[in-house]
Amino acid sequence: MLKRVPGTRDILPGQTELWQKIEEISREIFSIYNYREIRTPLIEEEALFNRSLGKSAEIVQKQMFLIKSDNDSYALRPEGTASIARAFIENNLDKTNPFLKLYYMGPMFRKERPQKGRFRQFHHIGCEVLGAEDADIDVEVISLAGRLLKAYSIDGYHMTINSLGCAHDKRELADILRKRIGPRLSEFCPDCQTRFNINVLRVIDCKNEGCKKLIQELDIHESCLCPGCKTHFNKVREGLDALKIDYKVSPHLVRGLDYYTRTVFEIIHKDLDSQQNAIGAGGRYDTLIRDLGGPDSGAIGFAFGVERLLLVAKSLPAKDGQKLVYLIALGEEAEKRSIKLLDRLRKENISSDSDYGAKSLKSAMRKANDAGARYVVIIGEDELKKDALTLKDMSSGLQEKIKADEIILRLRK
Ligand code: HAM
């Protein structure tokens, strides 16, 4: 039997309603904050991600799904930020909108070892603000993340923030780290030994307990923020405090993508396994757009992993009460009437369905029940004779005969 690719999922009816709800809530909140939707292709040139995420990023090193076509090499997008930066430059959006607030939702692809909360095709709901360096934007973006989580009815999470500083500060920090870590490198895990050579900053956020202890022993907690970055970070913190947003500062938060500068943040949920307990993350990438050939343009954003949101959203507000009207026609004549009535109901925008050719009232009622019908309309011999319909309210169980031409008015009520 043919099976789905490991690490991918079929999202079936029953689950799709939750996805729709989470998307619907997100659109509503993004629009309240005046963000507009952008949709970029699922495939991009491989070079876009190599140049944006950096050679040291695990995604670039081993997680990209590549498609070779003649002399070209494409990648299924592993994340959305690089594509949006590319779209910003390619469509000259800075010329018409030097300050842009965008949101997106859709599938991303990473060749990871599948496990709970970790997939090879997963989904992001995220946003990016392009053309803005002010710390107030960092505050807006972080508070927007909190507002979305509240709207999804998710609690039990905590937010960690840090500032990596500008490109110059990052280089300075890397030099200090190399000097401190170098003499004891052999005591670090093999991953850190590799990271040491390509991006030593990643060593300080290694999740390995042994490495964490070594970092503590080596007393590596300083950051190297220049006065401008220090002021920026202080302003972000003051803004978050003013809005009473809960957060912790961790100088060890680095993030695995090279494009970050200044503010970075991560949202961790207590109910998820420690290897994949981030429900969302983001940060500033003030040099990415210029590095990709665009204008000098500060930017910041974040993305939630939808699968992880759904794992922790225990009480996602249910979809609005089911309003389906289900028609049961008993006999050929009734069926002709039912098909016309169904067409009328739908033209009136009343959600309706029928089981087309009921074998018995009992089996048709069972199907109406399975379909989650709010009302059932029965057309049988008696109803045909009297030009009437039987209307049953499935939640109260009450049933009454009404005149056929009253049905729309009654259902509207
Ligand atoms: P990221 O941390 O790689 O950041 O991904 C964001 C979120 O996607 C994670 O916190 C996690 O919830 C979810 N996620 C990541 N990988 C998987 C996976 N294999 N299976 C399930 N969920 C996953 C980014 O991608 C950045 N582009 C975020 C950003 C936007 N930074 C600035 N703007």
Query: For 374-390, how does the pLDDT look when each residue is reduced to its tens digit (9 = 90+)?
Result: 999 999 999 999 999 99
Listed in sequence order, the DSSP H helices in 256-350 are 288-291, 306-312, 332-347
Quote the DSSP letter at residue 60.
I
**Would you tell me how many other CB atoms lie within 10 Å of the CB of residue 8?**
14
Domains of the chain, CATH where assigned: 16-165+225-312 (3.30.930.10), 325-412 (3.40.50.800)
Tell me the pTM: 0.91
Give pLDDT, residue 35: 97
For residue 351, the model assigns a pLDDT of 94
State in Å: Cα 63 to ligand 1 middle: 13
Separation of alpha carbons 257 and 58, rounded Å? 8
| Residue whose CA lies nearest to ligand 1 atom number 13 | 305
Give the three-class secondary structure for 82.
Answer: helix
Tens digit of each residue's pLDDT (9 = 90 or more) over 332-369? 999 999 999 999 999 999 999 998 877 899 999 999 99
Distance of CA 281 from the midpoint of ligand 1 (Å):
6
Residue 278 in contact with ligand 1 by CB distance below 6 A:
yes
Structure tokens at 316: 């996602």
Count the helix, strand and coil residues of the chain and give each as a percent rounded to the nearest 5.
Answer: 45, 20, 35
Cβ(110) – ligand 1 distance below 6 Å: yes
What is the tens place of the pLDDT at every residue in 43-102? 999 999 999 998 878 899 899 999 999 999 999 999 999 999 999 999 999 899 889 999
Q: 299 in ligand 1 pocket by Cβ < 6 Å?
A: no
- Name residue, tokens 């008015």: 409
Q: How far is CA 202 from the centre of its chain?
A: 25
| Calculated CA dihedral for residues 165, 245, 269, 217, nearest 10 degrees | 40
What is d(CA 23, CA 305) in angstroms, rounded to the nearest whole number?
12
Mutate to test the pocket of ligand 1, among 9, 53, 65, 81 (most ligand atoms within 8 A of CB): 81
Residue 320's pLDDT is: 52
How high is the pLDDT of residue 43?
Answer: 98
Structure confidence at residue 156 (pLDDT): 96
pLDDT beneath 70, residues of the chain: 220-222, 317-322
pLDDT at 306: 98
**Token pair belonging to 212:** 């964490």
CA torsion angle for 297, 48, 35, 250 (degrees, to 10)?
-70
Residue with CA at minimum distance from ligand 1 atom 1: 281
